[in-house]
């Protein structure tokens, strides 16, 4: 009987040891990976913008010198009447039609200034002022001027005006390279040198009032 009990105890011990010898399966616990944060700009306190974001074009050229006037390029910003006159003048110029330009001038509220002296028929005067004698040179000058940047001057006063090109009311010294290229699309280097000596723009310019009235298309000073 004692042998049977001892055998039973020995068998139980062997089973218990085998159970303890089994491999225990474990699972590693990994901390969650955090998404990278936007890197702040040095000293700015702001995050870098997402890639692909672009600055919006305001149609203006900011002046480095706060004393210089703001140059505008976006004609969509013009009042409706000003935009209409600008478009009519440009269409007549690009069409090469002096008679079409005549209709624009005659539809004006008042005769625009074309010269600082007395003139007769405005179209005949412009033809006589054109190097080719037919007015095509004048029309080309008008088209180039209306393509240039412009200024909104004397806002809120009786003299309020939209003026092309902006060089007519802009300091002619220390122009940037891109401004010089724009300027030389309108005048020659010789003309520009004379203007710098004179101290002001003396070539053709266009002035349109906020009500769409063409006040002048004139050269000289």
24 has pLDDT over 60: no
Residues 213 and 107: their CA atoms lie apart, in Å, by 9
pLDDT digits (tens, 9 = 90+) for 50-64: 434 333 444 555 455
Give the CA diameter of the chain: 149
Task: Write down the pLDDT at residue 63.
Answer: 52
Q: In this structure, are residues 108 and 209 in contact, taking their beta carbons and an 8 Å threshold?
A: no
53: left (phi over 0), alpha (psi -120 to 50) or beta: beta
pLDDT of residue 45: 41
Q: Give the residues across from 214 on adjacent strands.
A: 208
Rounded Cα distance, 138 and 98, in Å: 9
Give the model confidence (pLDDT) of 68-87 as tens digits.
899 999 999 999 999 999 99
Higher pLDDT, 221 or 107: 107
Give pTM, 2 decimals.
0.71
* CB 202 within 8 Å of CB 220: yes
């Amino acid at each position: 009987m004692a042998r049977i009990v001892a055998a039973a105890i020995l068998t139980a011990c062997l089973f218990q040891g085998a159970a303890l010898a089994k491999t225990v399966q474990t699972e590693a616990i990994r901390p969650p990976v955090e998404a990278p944060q936007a890197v702040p700009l040095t000293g700015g306190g702001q995050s870098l913008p997402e890639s692909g974001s672009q600055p919006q074009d305001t149609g203006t050229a900011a002046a480095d010198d706060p004393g210089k006037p703001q140059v505008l390029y976006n004609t969509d910003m013009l009042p409706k009447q000003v935009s209409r006159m600008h478009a009519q003048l440009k269409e007549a110029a690009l069409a090469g039609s002096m008679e079409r330009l005549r209709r624009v001038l005659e539809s004006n509220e008042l005769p625009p200034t074309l010269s600082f002296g007395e003139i007769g028929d405005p179209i005949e005067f412009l033809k006589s002022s054109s190097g080719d004698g037919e007015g095509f040179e004048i029309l080309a000058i008008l088209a180039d001027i209306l393509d240039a940047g412009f200024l909104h001057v004397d806002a809120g006063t009786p003299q309020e005006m939209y003026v092309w090109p902006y060089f007519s009311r802009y300091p002619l010294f220390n122009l940037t390279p891109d401004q010089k290229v724009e300027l030389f699309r309108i005048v020659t280097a010789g003309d520009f040198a004379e203007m710098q000596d004179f101290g002001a723009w003396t070539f053709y310019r266009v002035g349109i009032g906020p009500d769409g009235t063409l006040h002048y298309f004139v050269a000289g000073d």
